[in-house]
Structure 1
Amino acid sequence: MSTTHEGLPLRSLQVFEAAARCGGFTAAGEELGITQSGVSRQVSDLEATLGIPLFVRKGARLTVTPAGERLAGQLADTFARMWSAVAEARRSEQVVTISMLPSVATRWFAPRLGRFMASYPDIDLRITASRHLVDFSAEGVDAALRYSPMPSAGLEAVKLGTETVRPVCSPEYARALGLHAPDDLYRATLLYGDIPEDWSAWFAAAGCGQSPPTGPRLGDDGAILQAALDHQGVALGRSLLVADDIAAGRLVAPFPVSLQASHAYWFVRPNGHATSKAIEAVRLWLADQFGKAE
């Protein structure tokens, strides 16, 4: 039998608190799923251990003694805090915090959030969108979705997928400029970012004879793609981030030439950190979503 620090039977304390609160052994037994005689025996054992009466018995009528009332009140408070702590521990196991790039969070993950919630309604998923490499311990992050050639040392890493890069723009912009062949891009506004696969590499792959024209540099992929959606020019779109917009007809890819991205997507966690069923569920769900995108 589980006991308290001083050898008091924890089960008997629980049964006594229920009997005092319910006003009788029968009602307490119904609440706890034991017989009336089982409740009576547990209470008697507790009285013998404490050396004091907890109930005054007059026939079938029970009255809690003053000492019993004090004990029952303190136990009620103790059990309430104990069960609250247990519930909080269970909730914390269901909280998963994932870090990812703002562009990935906005353009790829957010449209899929409903799918995740439908599959895992009990997981409290929290996304931190950041361009810096997070400090897992200091920032309370469980895992990260990183875009890099290789994961950093000291991390457990699972490769989720790769992507290609190709020009994209709005259908209206493509029609207005008559974008039919790669050389037509010399008449276009090219939107520049900070990914390794730049316009010079794409122009070379497409067989264009001259260097690409200059254009505005926006840096963040989310801003670049928003400019393309707003008919401001042509962007080099990463396939994962533009797939939904192309499928919906908001963007088009006028040319078949694409570059293989030098970076890949990785699910990473610190080496040796304890995992949970919720974290593993998130990893498997992300792997499934990346598999569908390929």
Structure 2
Amino acid sequence: MKPATPAPSAAYLPLKALQAFEATMRLGGIGRAAERLGVTHGAVSRQIGLLQQTLGHPLFEGPRNARRPTAEAERLWREIAPAFAALEQAVAGRGRAGRRVRVSCLSTLAARWLIPRLPDFAAAAPGVVVELTESYAPLDRTLGGADLAIRMLAPDTPCPEGLEARPFMNNAIGMVAAPGAASDVRLVSRSHPAAWANWSPLTGQPAPAGGPVEFDHQQTMIEAAAAGLGAAVAQRPLVEADLAAGRLVAPHGFVSDGAVFAAFHRRGEAGPSTRRFLAWLEAPGQKI
């Protein structure tokens, strides 16, 4: 009897190396990939080196402190990214890693609008941990290592390549001042220098003639308005608690300037916990 011919062995598939490469491409650097994978920078670097040896060509080029992916690396990443996204979604929610959402948010919005609402999310989604970082950095597909990034989206502005945008709240702006305080001084934040110029045509109201008195951020500008130092144009989500408490008044109300607050995530990569956070985010956002 002729012995059976052994089945050919499966081709070698360097899964760990591919995982390290995919994370590096998705998150924009070896350091971020190492942090996400829970290994050292050197471990990720070695795996990428192994993958380059297996493929027989380099995947990154340029000086050591500014390496960038080659065209072949971009092609490979586009081909393998959907598979890793599918694997991640398949295990999401079955362990601690799937119960965590990393959120990057504009700092004043985080302090004045998002953080006060996070206890509601904790009650609605027990066990899902939100890790919050504050950032104004421009967006690309890395999202600075976050799962979601909350930013402003101006009218007719395209979503950055590789990302999906989920608008959840209109940007309503209005003039605010302390009750009974003189509002003849213009308060301005350097982060939004055109606020008065945008508000006046929308409302037909002139800006105060006095000032401007400048502040680095909206947070300090709003506190200055509440202290009676003048009037400011502010986004409604940032001052709604002050309005409710009577620290500020908005004599002309609020009007939308056409922009929206949006949550950005990498295309096709929103896992169950991230989708749950997105759905929750839209509920309070619609009330503004």
TM-score norm. by structure 2 comes to 0.60
Deviations 1:250-285 (A, max 9, x none): 2111234x442242111111224x332111110000
**Superposed displacement of residue 140, structure 1:** 2.5
**Superposed displacement of residue 139, structure 1:** 3.8
For 1:93 and 1:216, locate their aligned partners in 2 and report how far apart those are by CA, in whole Å: 47
For 1:269 and 1:117, locate their aligned partners in 2 and report how far apart those are by CA, in whole Å: 21
Q: Letter of the 1:281 partner, please give it.
A: R
1:123 corresponds to = 128
For 2:135 and 2:186, locate their aligned partners in 1 and report how far apart those are by CA, in whole Å: 26
For 1:205 and 1:139, locate their aligned partners in 2 and report how far apart those are by CA, in whole Å: 35
Do residues 242 (structure 1) and 239 (structure 2) align?
Answer: yes
**Superposed displacement of residue 249, structure 1:** 1.3
Q: 2:187 aligns with which of 183, 191, 208?
A: 191
**Superposed displacement of residue 144, structure 1:** 0.9
- Alpha-carbon contact 1:99-1:134 (below 8 Å) kept: no
Q: 1:229 aligns with which of 226, 229, 240?
A: 226
**Superposed displacement of residue 148, structure 1:** 2.2
Q: 1:160 aligns with which of 143, 168, 176?
A: 168
- Alpha-carbon contact 1:227-1:233 (below 8 Å) kept: yes
For 1:288 and 1:104, locate their aligned partners in 2 and report how far apart those are by CA, in whole Å: 16
- Alpha-carbon contact 1:203-1:212 (below 8 Å) kept: no
For 1:152 and 1:279, locate their aligned partners in 2 and report how far apart those are by CA, in whole Å: 19
- Alpha-carbon contact 1:196-1:262 (below 8 Å) kept: no
2:109 corresponds to = 104
For 2:197 and 2:208, locate their aligned partners in 1 and report how far apart those are by CA, in whole Å: 6
For 1:200 and 1:281, locate their aligned partners in 2 and report how far apart those are by CA, in whole Å: 38
SS of the counterpart of 1:162? strand
SS of the counterpart of 1:160? strand
Structure 1: gaps (5+ residues): 1-85, 178-184
Kindly tell me: are residues 200 and 292 of structure 1, through their superposed partners in 2, closer, same or farther at Cα, counting changes over 3 Å? closer
Q: Letter of the 1:158 partner, please give it.
A: R
**Superposed displacement of residue 105, structure 1:** 0.2
**Superposed displacement of residue 289, structure 1:** 1.2
Q: Letter of the 1:222 partner, please give it.
A: Q
Q: 2:259 aligns with which of 263, 268, 276?
A: 263
Kindly tell me: are residues 138 and 147 of structure 1, through their superposed partners in 2, closer, same or farther at Cα, counting changes over 3 Å? closer
**Superposed displacement of residue 234, structure 1:** 1.1
For 1:90 and 1:155, locate their aligned partners in 2 and report how far apart those are by CA, in whole Å: 26
**Superposed displacement of residue 101, structure 1:** 0.2
Q: CA RMSD in A?
A: 2.7
Q: How does 1:123-162 map to 2 (within 5 A)?
A: 123-133=128-138, 137=142, 139-149=144-154, 150=157, 151-162=159-170
Kindly tell me: are residues 222 and 210 of structure 1, through their superposed partners in 2, closer, same or farther at Cα, counting changes over 3 Å? closer
Deviations 1:232-261 (A, max 9, x none): 2211011121122111212111234x4422
For 1:97 and 1:219, locate their aligned partners in 2 and report how far apart those are by CA, in whole Å: 27
- Alpha-carbon contact 1:136-1:142 (below 8 Å) kept: no
Kindly tell me: are residues 137 and 89 of structure 1, through their superposed partners in 2, closer, same or farther at Cα, counting changes over 3 Å? farther
Q: Which has the larger radius of gyration?
A: 1
Kindly tell me: are residues 250 and 176 of structure 1, through their superposed partners in 2, closer, same or farther at Cα, counting changes over 3 Å? closer
Q: How does 1:209-220 map to 2 (within 5 A)?
A: 212-220=209-217
**Superposed displacement of residue 89, structure 1:** 7.1
**Superposed displacement of residue 207, structure 1:** 4.4
Q: 2:96 aligns with which of 91, 100, 112?
A: 91
Do residues 279 (structure 1) and 279 (structure 2) align?
Answer: no
Q: Letter of the 1:168 partner, please give it.
A: V
Q: Letter of the 2:186 partner, please give it.
A: L
Q: Letter of the 2:145 partner, please give it.
A: G
**Superposed displacement of residue 136, structure 1:** 5.7
SS of the counterpart of 2:212? coil
Q: Letter of the 2:245 partner, please give it.
A: A
- Alpha-carbon contact 1:197-1:261 (below 8 Å) kept: no
- Alpha-carbon contact 1:190-1:233 (below 8 Å) kept: yes
For 2:206 and 2:119, locate their aligned partners in 1 and report how far apart those are by CA, in whole Å: 46
SS of the counterpart of 1:153? coil
**Superposed displacement of residue 199, structure 1:** 1.9
Bigger mean CA offset, 89-98 vs 280-289: 89-98
- Alpha-carbon contact 1:165-1:197 (below 8 Å) kept: no
For 1:199 and 1:153, locate their aligned partners in 2 and report how far apart those are by CA, in whole Å: 32
